[in-house]
Structures are given as C-alpha cells and as structure tokens.
Structure 1
Amino acid sequence: MMRRFFPLIWITLAATVLMFTSCGGVKTKNQYASQDSLALSYANNFKVVKDARGYDCHVVTQKKDKKVDDHFRLTFRDSISDVSMSSSEMEIPIPCKRIICLSSTQLTYFFALDYIDPIVGTNSSRRLFHKGMTQRINSGKVKRVGKQGNFNLELIASLQPDVIFVSPFKRGGYASLKQLGIPLIPMAAYSEETPLGRAEWVKFISLFIGKEKEATVQFDQIAKEYNRLTQLTKEVKERPTVFSGKLRSGIWYVPGGNSFYAHYFRDAGAEYVFKDQYTGARPLDFETVYAKCLDADYWRLLLPEPVGYNRQMLIKEDERYGDFDAFNRDHVFMCNIRSKPFYEENAMKPHIVLSDYIHIFHPELIPEYKPYFYEPLPNE
C-alpha cells in the first residue's frame, strides 16, 4: 500500500516544484491564456489585455534614464465588484461619463471618433477650431480648468471627472491634481516615433468611452491609405533634401534623424538632411544648421505666427535666412497653427499630412490633391 502511494507523492511534489520554479512564465501564460491582447500594429507605448470584466492597461513612458510603467484597470460598470486592488493600481469604471483633457492633442481622438459628450473640462492654453467643442465651451458645458502650474482645483473637483488625461512629458504641475484623488491617465502618444504609431492611440482612448469597434475600423482605414501613399514614393528616383524649423530665442531645435518628422519626410519621398539616430529634437546653433542645410531643396516650418505670415516677415527675423537655397527657390512651406487646426487633428490624419508632403515634394504623384495643413510660404 505504501509502495504505491509513495511514488504518487513524489510525482505530485515534482509537479508542484516545477510549477513554482518557473512561476514567472507560467503565471504570465495562465494570466493571459483566456484573455485577448488588444491588437496593435504600430504603437509601442501602451498595451492592453481584455478579460470578461474589462481591461488591464499599461502606459510606458521614458522619464530621464528609466522607463515608467503606469498600470490601471478599466472595469465595465456592470462588472464592478468590491474586490480590492493593490495600492499601485487604479480601477476605473467604463464607459467614463465625465472626462477632462488637458491638451488639444488629447481631444484629437475624441474628435476623430465624433464623440465629445463625456468631455466636461479642458485646458485654457489654446483656441480650438472644432465647432462642436467651441460651442460646448461657450455654453458652459465644458469648463476651462486652467493649465499646468495654474489649475483651478476647486473647479476641477466640482466637475467630478472619472479621469483626467495628462501629458507625461510635462515637468511637474500635477502634484496638486493628484491630491484630488482623481485618476490621472498619461497620454504618451507623442512619444511614438511613427505617424501611424500616434494614430493608433485612438484605440486606447476608445476603451474609456465604449468606441472600440469604431476606433479599429477608422484606424485600419487610415493605415491602409497611409501605406498606399508610401508605396507611391518608393520608386521615386530623385529624392529632394529637406530641413525643418527656425531659430527660437537664438536656438534652432532640430528634429533628429530617427524622429517622428524624419519618418514623414522619408515616407513622402524626401531625404532629411540630418542623418543621425536622435528620436527627439536637439538644440543647435545657427552656424551648425547653416552649414548643413544651406543647399537643401526644401524648408519646412510649423509655427505660431500672425495670420498672413510671409517671406518678408521671415527674412525680417534674421537676414541670414535669405542665404538658404530653399528660400531663394521659393521652396519654403509652412503650417501656421494660428490658422490651421494642426494640433487638434494631425495625430488622426497622418495620411493627410503625408499627402501634403508628397504634393510638395512629388506633385506629379497626386496631381489632383489639394493641401490641407501645409502650404507654400506666401510672398506677401
């Protein structure tokens, strides 16, 4: 009797030991075996796993020399339970009924999904072009709650938001908001290095407002069109050179050679002048930019200048701008955010931005196209 029972004990113990010695892999596998990860093709800075009760979300941001993983739980309202969570996690009922967005770049995704009803507050830093949101602000349905470092905490508390979307790239300014006990959701879309990576964040936003299917359909259409356009430029034999920006307080902030903007230029059939591995912008002096960009074919500007900004106004800022070949050949093109809704639309219109660039660099590829954001810098 004992001889038959003794091996059985060892078999059981061995199986138990095997399970715990490899518990990291087994636990992860079991945790997600019956769950579905949100399908992402381009975005790298968020991950979502769905189960019967809702979503486990992770947003990854780079802060100084380390990556920060913000984890929170979205739970369907009809599945809310009294199950407690660890102090490092947040449980948010969805769909959210009251939302505050602290930048127009966050509103972009709500605009694209044509669903702004849950928005009850936004920041006070920029005029909006979106008519529906402007009307809601003017009518008092959406409150301006201040901006970083000067939030109206009493107003924010009175709005009783389910969540506040914040930028993880702002330095400070959110400590006071945390004291209100309202979940702060980091929007790290602008750390994505590709245009489609930014656009895919519409799937993230959609989870909060019950628009998952609509977001997937819309993003798939955008990605299809963007990729179709990139195919048009793959075989171009002549790729014009391009540089970007201008002096700001004596510094020229130049997008890196592996930056978001550099990806756009390459996809549009152009050659970006700076061929380094920087993913962000770096400060350079005028002389460095001058030496590198003097003979470039095109000059791209994204600027907040008075409506009517033109060549004479640009050259008045610094006479040396007149030395650039792109300036002398009338190859300066711009998007003036004072007159174009760039920041509240571009993230969800990468195919439109790309079309603008292609129209500038290779107009023969899309001859009937009319630019939306970018246009030649007017002569007067």
Structure 2
Amino acid sequence: MSRMVQTGSMIGLLGLLLLSCQTNKKKESSDLSASYEKKELEYARGFELFRSEKDQVLRVYNSKSVDSTYQDFKLVAKKTAPDEIQVPCKKIICLSSTQLTYFFALDDIDPIVATNSSRHLFHKALGEKIKSGEVKRVGKEGHFNTELIAGINPDLIFVSPYKAGGYDALKNLGIPLVPMAAYDEKSPLGRAEWIKMIAPFIGKEKQADSIFQKVSLRYDSLKNLTQNVKKRPTVFSGKMRSGIWYVPGGKSFYANYFRDAGARYIIDDEKQGAYPLDFESMYTKAAACDYWRILVPEPIGFGRKALLEQDGRYGDFKAYKTGNVFMCNIREKPYYEQNAMKPDVILADYIHIFHPNLLPNYQPVFYEALQ
C-alpha cells in the first residue's frame, strides 16, 4: 500500500513538473510576444519572426514533434553573447541546394562561403565561385569535413532537419545550426514565404517582402483561372524506386498543387506525407488516370522508351498510352535550385498541361510531356 502511495505521489509530482514546463514554455512565448513585435506571415507555419528596437528573434518550429517544440535564434547588430548571431552575416554555409534558392531569388550569394555539393548546380555565378575555390565544398551528411568548416568559421550553418543523424559532428563546433524546414510546408506559397526567414540574415527584409508579394499575387491569379473549370482531369504522381512506389498523401504539398491547377489527385486520404505502396496497389488506384507526373534524376534525353525499359508495366497505365506523362528531369532543369521560389511558374506549368486552353501561349519551364 505504501509503495502504491509513493508511486501515486511520484506520478502526481511528475505531472505537475510537466505542467510547469508546458506553462513556462507558454509563458516564454507570451513574454516574447509582449516584448517584441511579431511579423505577420500569410502562409508559412514553420517559423516566426519577432522584432524589437534592439534585435530580432527567429523561432523555428520542429513540426515532427508532437508538442511543437522550437528553437529561438537572437539576431543582433553587434554580437555580445555566444548564443547571438550578428547580422547581416558575412559567412554562411548552406548544406542543401533547396536553401540556395532563397539567396538566388534575393540576388545575393556573396555571404555563401561553402556548400555541401555542387554536382548538378545550374547557377552560373555560384558555380564559378566553387570552381575557383572561393566557395568551398564541405561534404555531405555524415561525411562533413569538420576541419575545413572550423577553419572557415562561418557565422552560421543552415541545416536540413530531414537529414537524420547527419549533423552530429557539426554540433561540437560551436557554430549556430539553423534548421531550414521550408520543405515541411504543405502549401506552395508557404514554402516560398521562407524567403522572409532568410532575409534578416543578409539584410534583405524589404526585398524579400516585395518578391514574395509578387509571387503570391501571380500564384493566386493563376489559381483563380481554374476555380470554375467544368472538368478536372485525374492525376497521379511518382514511380517505382527500389521496388517501392512512394505516394504523396491526399493532403500533401503536391496534392495542393494539383488541386490549385484544376486537377483531381487520385489519392484521396488525409495523409500529408509520402508513404510506400507496391506496384499492384498503385496500379489499382491509378490505371485509368488521365495524367501522370514524375520528377526524376535521369540522363539527358530520357523519354518514353527509357521509362518503359525501367518497368514494362508502366505501359499499362492509361496516361502512358495516351501520351499524358509529364516530367521534370532535374538533370536538365534547375528544379531544386528554384522551385521553392517559383510556385507561380510551376502552377502555370501544371495548368498548361491540365487545361491548355487557359494558357494557350504559355511555354512550360520545368515540366513537359515525356517524348
């Protein structure tokens, strides 16, 4: 009986401690809001920005956590404490091409001093800097050249929170690791709005606001074109990879794109992420679909014949038979360097494919029919 009482007391105490932590966390957030002016964001959900007369605070949320934990980064004009980041930054390391897109959109690559890889980099100016050695290559996840990174001594490193276990070696360098989680946003404009997260680090807030506003207005204008279409063609996405078909869920980023472009995504569920299916399950769902969208890293010139050589069963899909497979080959197009900041362009590509009469003179940029 005594043990039960002790156990009950411990559980009660633990509950109080947990409640206290949650309350402190909420209080901290409330205090921050009281001391700072919060920047209004339209679509992005993964970060927040707070400004005072002296500094700014960037808050990046961990969407993978059930309790919505976050990291705060204090941005200051003059650094006086180890946990502060002095802005504008002079030396930044980007560990993903998807991070670079925001610097390209802001037309400012000068602060970039190193990247993880430049294997398929299309950006000419940054490519030349890498070739000359002005911008260093620091390796990939799990194989970073920590000595080189320490020697560069950057102001910060933008990391991807989706690369599990790849940054342990960097945590001991004492360099701020700022998560770039734009790719967890479920709306195309949500991803684009992360340009406002990058902007304070390089002193380009006004430019970022202006660029995003233009992209947003054009995206909404294009989206309005499809609101009253009478027929919405069906579409499915992806292909087999190592024996598995990874399917974007019915509430995923791609599903939102297809809906805005006036199509009906064949996967109708509540899932936001991608999940695996075998070929038979996918065929059952998509055999009669009107269109098939694929994003691939294939040799230049990859076409219908090459796709069929990968798996002869692809030829059984209606979309393949009717020539309605549309593809973006990342070996030929700078998709990963640009797509986050060009949702309006990608939406126009999709609309032109699904409803060519709505954009009759449009020339696709990323996606085109597989020949």
Alpha-carbon distance in structure 2 between the residues aligned to 1:371 and 1:27: 48
Deviations 1:107-162 (A, max 9, x none): 00000000000000000263200011001101111000000011011111111100
Aligned-residue CA RMSD in angstroms? Answer: 1.7
Preserved CA contact (<8 Å) 1:75 1:92: yes
Secondary structure of the equivalent of 1:124? coil
Identity %: 57
Alpha-carbon distance in structure 1 between the residues aligned to 2:328 and 2:242: 20
Output the amino acid matched with 1:75. Answer: V
Aligned: 1:137 with 2:130: yes
Aligned: 1:162 with 2:163: no
* CA-CA distance at 1:324 after TM superposition: 0.4
Output the amino acid matched with 2:55. Answer: G
Secondary structure of the equivalent of 1:67? coil
Alpha-carbon distance in structure 2 between the residues aligned to 1:26 and 1:345: 39
2:266 is aligned to 273
1:282 is aligned to 275
Deviations 1:67-120 (A, max 9, x none): 33111111122xx446x8xxxxx3111111000000100000000000000000
* Larger radius of gyration between Structure 1 and Structure 2: 1
Output the amino acid matched with 1:49. Answer: F
2:53 is aligned to 52
- For residue 245 of structure 1, the aligned residue among 216, 238, 242 is 238
Alpha-carbon distance in structure 2 between the residues aligned to 1:24 and 1:151: 34
2:228 is aligned to 235
Alpha-carbon distance in structure 2 between the residues aligned to 1:102 and 1:26: 34
Aligned: 1:191 with 2:192: no
Deviations 1:198-252 (A, max 9, x none): 0000000001000000000000000000000010000000000000000001000
- For residue 340 of structure 1, the aligned residue among 327, 333, 338 is 333
Preserved CA contact (<8 Å) 2:235 2:290: yes
**Bigger shift: 266-275 or 167-176?**
167-176
Preserved CA contact (<8 Å) 2:118 2:127: no
Aligned: 1:371 with 2:364: yes
Unpaired segments of 5 or more residues in structure 2?
A: 1-22
Alpha-carbon distance in structure 2 between the residues aligned to 1:276 and 1:299: 18
2:37 is aligned to 36
* CA-CA distance at 1:32 after TM superposition: 3.3
Output the amino acid matched with 1:97. Answer: K
Aligned: 1:262 with 2:255: yes
Alpha-carbon distance in structure 1 between the residues aligned to 2:24 and 2:138: 47
Preserved CA contact (<8 Å) 1:125 1:147: no
* CA-CA distance at 1:63 after TM superposition: 3.4
* CA-CA distance at 1:368 after TM superposition: 1.3
Deviations 1:255-279 (A, max 9, x none): 0000000000000000000010111
Alpha-carbon distance in structure 2 between the residues aligned to 1:28 and 1:371: 45
1:329 is aligned to 322
The 1:250/1:28 distance shift into structure 2, 3 A limit, reads closer
Alpha-carbon distance in structure 2 between the residues aligned to 1:169 and 1:27: 27
Alpha-carbon distance in structure 2 between the residues aligned to 1:303 and 1:31: 44
Alpha-carbon distance in structure 1 between the residues aligned to 2:26 and 2:242: 52
* CA-CA distance at 1:53 after TM superposition: 1.6
Secondary structure of the equivalent of 2:351? helix
Alpha-carbon distance in structure 2 between the residues aligned to 1:248 and 1:28: 43
The 1:125/1:286 distance shift into structure 2, 3 A limit, reads farther
Output the amino acid matched with 1:93. Answer: Q
Please report the TM-score for the alignment, with normalisation by the length of structure 2.
0.91
1:12 is aligned to none
Preserved CA contact (<8 Å) 1:353 1:373: yes
Aligned: 1:92 with 2:85: yes
Aligned: 1:179 with 2:160: no
Secondary structure of the equivalent of 2:289? coil
Output the amino acid matched with 1:357. Answer: Y
Output the amino acid matched with 1:266. Answer: R
Unpaired segments of 5 or more residues in structure 1?
A: 1-21, 85-89
Secondary structure of the equivalent of 2:335? coil
Output the amino acid matched with 2:174. Answer: G
Secondary structure of the equivalent of 2:150? helix
Output the amino acid matched with 2:347. Answer: L
Alpha-carbon distance in structure 2 between the residues aligned to 1:190 and 1:250: 25
How many residues align? The count is 349
* CA-CA distance at 1:317 after TM superposition: 1.1
* CA-CA distance at 1:57 after TM superposition: 1.3
Preserved CA contact (<8 Å) 2:46 2:63: no
Aligned: 1:63 with 2:64: yes
Deviations 1:40-61 (A, max 9, x none): 0000000110011221111112
**Bigger shift: 327-336 or 121-130?**
121-130
Output the amino acid matched with 1:137. Answer: I
Output the amino acid matched with 1:60. Answer: Y
1:356 is aligned to 349
Please report the TM-score for the alignment, with normalisation by the length of structure 1.
0.89
